[in-house]
Amino acid sequence: MKGLIISAVIIATAFSFNGNAQNKKNSGKEIFGDLTARHIGPALMSGRINDLEIHPTNSRIIYAGAAGGGVWKSNDAGTSFNPIFDEYCQSIGAITLDPNDPDNTIYVGTGETWPRNSVSIGDGLYKSVDGGSNWKKIGLEKSERIANIIVNPQNSKEIYVAALGALWGDSEERGVYKSTDGGATWKRLLYVNSKTGCADLVMDPTNSNVLYASMWEFRRSGWGFESGGSNSALYKSMDGGASWKKIHKGFPVGKLGRLGIAIAPSNPKVLYTVIEAEKDEHKGLYRSNNSGASWEQLNNDFGITVRPFYFSRIVVDPKDENVIVKGGLSGSISRDGGKTFKSLGRMHSDIHDIAFSIKDSDIMYVGTDGGVYRSWDGGTNLEIVENLPLSQFYHISVDDATPYNVYGGLQDNGSWYGPSSSPGGVEAKDWNSVGYGDGFRVLKHPTKNIIYSEMQGAKNVWRFDVDRNLSKTIQPLATDDETKLRFNWNAPMTTSSHQPDRFYMGSQFVHKSEDMGDTWEIISPDLTTNDPTKQTQENSGGLSKDNSGAENHTTIFTIAESPLDQNVIWVGTDDGNVQVTKDGGKSWSNTIANIIGLPKNTWCYHIEASVFNKGTAYAVFDGHTMNDMNPYAYKTTDYGKTWTSIITEDVTGFARNIQEDYENPDLLFLGTEFGLYITMDGGKNWKKFTNNMPSVAVHYIDLQKTTNDLVMGTHGRGVIILDDISPLRELNDEVMSKKLHFFKNQPTVINEDSNFSGSFGKETQFTGRNKTTNAQIKYYLKSRHTFGKMSLEIQDMQGKKIVELGPGKSKGINIVNWGYSRKQPKVAKGKTFTFGGFASPNVPAGTYKAVIKKGKDTFEQTFELVYDSKSTLTEDDRKLKNETTMQLYNMTEELAYVVYELDAMLAKATENKKMKSKLNALKETLVITTGDNYVGSSEPQLREKMTSLFSKLANNYDKPTKSELDNLEVISNRFNNAKENFNKLKKKYKKFETLDVMSFEDFLQSK
């Protein structure tokens, strides 16, 4: 990630595991090479939008800033969007276009500004001067959250920024900032204290010296939230920010919370603010008709006052000062200046931003917790943008189906599962709902078609019988009045690899069920610190109570049963304990005191029990809720008696998850707030993976054992898969010192699936890319091939070339795909295409060779192609299919050569009209010589009949039918007769003309 990780050149012959010759900040691109992540969404529920921005002169151009999914641009009025900010922080606070150069100059302030408990963080302000193709960070790196950016319409070098600042602790980089040199330098204009930031900032469109700033005092912790205080206020400046004064006449007395602010573009004397006050009756919408000199409360409806920290955005119709839209649970619109409101039309709840079209105010765009919506009738009806894959996963898991399914829970969007690949790509219709509310962990029963899912705080835990379409709630409940179960908002669940019906959940206790949740027993004491000062969630919220359950604390957060010993169970808590039992829960040991260098009470976010040694485990800690943004990950090999840090300065962003490889104990994958990191030496060195992998928060990682796919649940870009990480298992100093190293490969199953998946209705939808079914030739190059010839051939075991492929020549891992097919046959030229000639027949299953020639060196690797074990074809069926297909393949090429010779004869037969007439008459029976490729098509001739049958056999999984074999006999007889007639004509032709043509072999190689 540029700005966070500085790219550099590796000053060594290869990546060195001893670290002596390695540049610590290398991104890893030269190592990972062609290993590329693929995105499968889903987008049907999309994800939270923080900010919308419309081009000031082109109504078709719209920008969307996602809470965790980056910046997206639409050039077609919101029909579709494309990402333009993937290399950088994906948590977006504000987007602004320079009104004097909106096509080129864009500013992005990072850090979401609706600070719920699960928000990510920002890393400063970015600028693009080429429409978003390239970006440069221009300051405010420690602001954490930027609420707004304003460019002076009279002077592009003058920029104002509202820095909300840190959420989880004190920070000095807050308030209103100004640059007078296009962002090169910054000066802070308005600052209150280290706990109060600028939540909103607007400029008078008729006077750039007039600014209004909303200052908000706030603080969140892992166990509570405090909105409001004596320092929250609304300020006005009339001198470009040089001086400020409060404009509170008409405001409620006492402490204030978050204040939204909006100015009417059509009448800048009209201002609106939404005030969070101490008394409920004083909260609500206030209006000023005199540029803020005095205020009047207009509305106190629930839709206006609900959750002010999350819904404070006010937007005024640019053409009508009395049309106002307010964010909220449903979003509210007023057409009488704020006196009355009605809800916007049906869409996903939680409305965060609204934008009016510059041409027609009936056209509106709305940013919600479920993506972007469009309205064409002033907000009465809305439709979702279907191609924004911004889903925010908390956890994911996979099963062992073929193709495997991915299961996971989403922020505000329930729980789902869907296939890792699907005919036509992974579409919205492929995803299945298995839970409501905020979804978290979703687990497939190890042996039965049953799925476990949950919603926030274990309010409901479901066991869903997929086959019978039945669900049952199974969460552990209190069994006495004295014990209150404390479940985390993101309550831990896990299944057992030893006893399939065993199911674990965690409150402050470990709950175990041996019958899939029908009955429960507690197998631990309270494993948390049980600190009563962190158990007052009923008071959370500050001026507005906000006890959603998200702040539940002193709870168990992660449970891991050893895959090697069912009696070894690891537990991590949100208040910093790491507990282990070696006797199935009879006794527990708290190992946290053995972890050196970890700040006290740091949240244990994940524990990974090793598959290699039952005393080995990895623990990941997340300190960001205590304003500690450092990554922490430790390893123990002795049941927690000692722990070793495996984090280096290579890693940027606090960590949430770690995944151990199943074959190489030194290969580890770390999910951080800024992306995926990989180590191949047990944590001595880490490399960031950036190949089609945005700098998104990776909340959970799973490794599918059969396919070796690394599956990531990201909090902003849905499910991202790194297919087949097995080459990484082999990388070491010895391998990377070789000129070329072929990686081991598993047999490739020849894909013979066929279906009728159409694209109708998907034109504007996101479709996830499927895993390739090709055979893949994977090799490592010590250095990039730049001089001399390099070639790659696929040969049979006798050394006969089947096809030549373009080799990868980059340093690092190269992957070359082959669809196990021969090249298309050479087809006779005619007036029209013969579409059957585009078929490429598969080679039969067997052993083949990849042969790379690099200069004077030759490298070979054998690999296997196999048929699907589910296939019903016999060996004789396969033999008949292959022989018949190749018979037609050879006939097609032979016919092409006949027509080539015939055309050569026609070109010289200008004087012999009789011969020319006979040649043309023959040609008309061989290929189409009139018409076009569509409605003007002519009667099919031999070429069309031959290639049509050829494509049917080549593209069919089955053996030829009797009808096809009979048809082949007809075609073969007709071709033989045609060749006989042609040979007679050639004899006559040669009596008066020499035929100068290529040989058959040269013809087949020609273009």
Per-residue pLDDT of 686-717, as tens digits, reads 999 999 999 999 999 999 999 999 999 999 99
Condensed to tens digits (0 to 9), the pLDDT of residues 152-197 reads: 999 999 999 999 999 999 999 999 999 999 999 999 999 999 999 9
- Report DSSP state, residue 180: S
CA atoms of 421 and 948, how far apart (whole Å): 30
Query: What does pTM read for this prediction?
Result: 0.94
Q: In what order do the strands lie in the sheet with 569-573?
A: 556-561, 569-573, 578-581, 589-590
Give pLDDT, residue 25.
39
pLDDT bin (cut points 50, 70, 90) of residue 909 is confident
Gap between the Cα atoms of 326 and 344, Å rounded: 10
Question: For the chain, what percent of residues have pLDDT higher than 70?
Answer: 97
| 858 CB neighbour count, 10 Å cutoff | 11
User: How many Cβ atoms from other residues are within 10 Å of residue 472's Cβ?
Assistant: 13
Contact between 764 and 428 under an 8 Å Cβ cutoff? The reply is no
Contact 306, 296 (CB under 8 A): no
| pLDDT at residue 759 greater than cutoff 80 | no
What SS3 state is found at 711?
Answer: strand
Which 8-state DSSP code applies to residue 281?
A: G
Taking residues 26-44, report their average pLDDT.
Answer: 90
Q: Which amino acid does the sequence have at 842? A: N
DSSP state of 877: H
The more confidently predicted of residues 988 and 79 is 79
| 531/11: higher pLDDT | 531
Residues making up the chain, counted from first to last: 1007
Average pLDDT, the chain: 94
Give the separation between CA 468 and CA 961, rounded to whole angstroms: 40
- C-alpha 713/C-alpha 840 separation (Å) is 37
d(CA 351, CA 369): 7
Of 147, 116, 330, the residue nearest 227 (C-alpha)? 116
Beta bridge partners of residue 732, listed in sequence order: none
pLDDT at 481: 85
The two structure tokens encoding residue 907: 């070109």
Closest CA to 779 of 816, 749, 754: 816
Q: 937 falls in which pLDDT band (50, 70, 90)?
A: low
The larger pLDDT score, comparing residue 757 to residue 732, is at 732
Residue pair 20/742 in contact by the 8 Å Cβ criterion: no
Q: What is the DSSP string of 401-438?
A: SSSPEEEEEETTTEEEEEESS-TTSB-GGG-EEEE-SS
Q: How many angstroms separate the CA atoms of 69 and 718, rounded?
A: 9
Residue 19's pLDDT is 34
Res 23 pLDDT > 90: no
Tokens, residue 420: 């890792």
pLDDT band, residue 14 (cuts 50/70/90): very low
State the distance between the two ends of the chain, measured CA to CA, in whole angstroms: 44
DSSP 457: G
Whether residue 884 is predicted with pLDDT greater than 70 in this model: the reply is yes
Q: How far apart are CA 78 and CA 71, in angstroms?
A: 14
pLDDT at 494 over 60: yes
Q: Taking Cα atoms as reference points, which of 667, 660, 552, 681 lies closest to residue 606?
A: 660
For the chain, percent of residues with pLDDT exceeding 90: 90
pLDDT digits (tens, 9 = 90+) for 571-580: 999 999 999 9
pLDDT recorded at residue 822: 95
pLDDT of residue 863: 98
According to the model, what pLDDT value does residue 757 have? 75
By the 8 A CB rule, do 435 and 453 touch?
yes
Strand pairing report for 461-465 and 450-454: antiparallel
Local confidence band at 16 (pLDDT 50, 70, 90 cut-offs): very low
Residue 496's CB: how many other CB atoms inside 10 A? 17
> What is the per-residue pLDDT for 934?
62
Q: Which distant-in-sequence residues (6+ apart) come within 8 Å of 592 by Cβ?
A: 576, 577, 578, 598
Give dist(CA 505, CA 517) in Å, integer: 9
Q: How far is Cα 946 from Cα 679, in angstroms, rounded to an integer?
A: 55
How many other C-beta atoms are found inside a 10 Å radius of the C-beta of residue 992?
Answer: 11
Among 367, 512, 363, CA closest to 60: 363
Residues 616-662: tens digit of each pLDDT: 999 999 999 999 999 999 999 999 999 999 999 999 999 999 999 99
Q: Which amino acid is at 448?
A: K
pLDDT at 4: 35
Per-residue model confidence (pLDDT) at position 20: 31
CB 615 within 8 A of CB 636: yes
Least confident of 202-206, 461-465, 904-908, 911-915: 911-915
938-964 residues labelled b (16+ CB within 10 A) or e (exposed): bebbbbbbbbbbbbbbbeebebbeeeb
**Residue of 926, 967, 969 lying closest to 828 (CA atoms):** 926
Full strand arrangement of the beta sheet holding 719-722: 37-41, 719-722, 709-714, 698-704
Rounded Cα gap, residues 205 and 759, in angstroms? 46
Cα(656)–Cα(672) distance, rounded to whole angstroms? 6
Averaged pLDDT, 866-893: 96
Residue 936: pLDDT band by 50, 70, 90 thresholds? low
Residue identified by tokens 């709630």 is 473
- How many angstroms separate the Cα of 560 from the Cα of each of 41, 180, 795, 971? 28, 55, 48, 66
Give me the phi and psi of 50, to 5 degrees please: -95, -35
- For residue 28, the model assigns a pLDDT of 85
Query: Does 561 have pLDDT greater than 50?
Result: yes
| Tens digit of each residue's pLDDT (9 = 90 or more) over 807-858 | 999 999 999 999 999 999 999 998 888 888 889 999 999 999 999 999 999 9
* pLDDT average, residue stretch 340-346: 97
- Percentage helix, strand, coil for the chain under 3-state DSSP, each rounded to 5: 15, 35, 55
- Can you say how many angstroms the Cα of residue 972 is from the centroid of all Cα atoms in its chain? 53
By mean pLDDT, which of 205-214, 323-332, 987-996 is the weakest?
A: 987-996
Q: Hey, what are 14's tokens?
A: 């290869």
Report which DSSP code applies to 650. Answer: T
Select from 193, 105, 1 the least CA-distant residue to 693. 1
CA distance 269 to 288: 7
Whose tokens are 């649970």? That residue is 329
Instruction: Give the count of beta carbons closer than 10 Å to the beta carbon of residue 691.
Output: 15
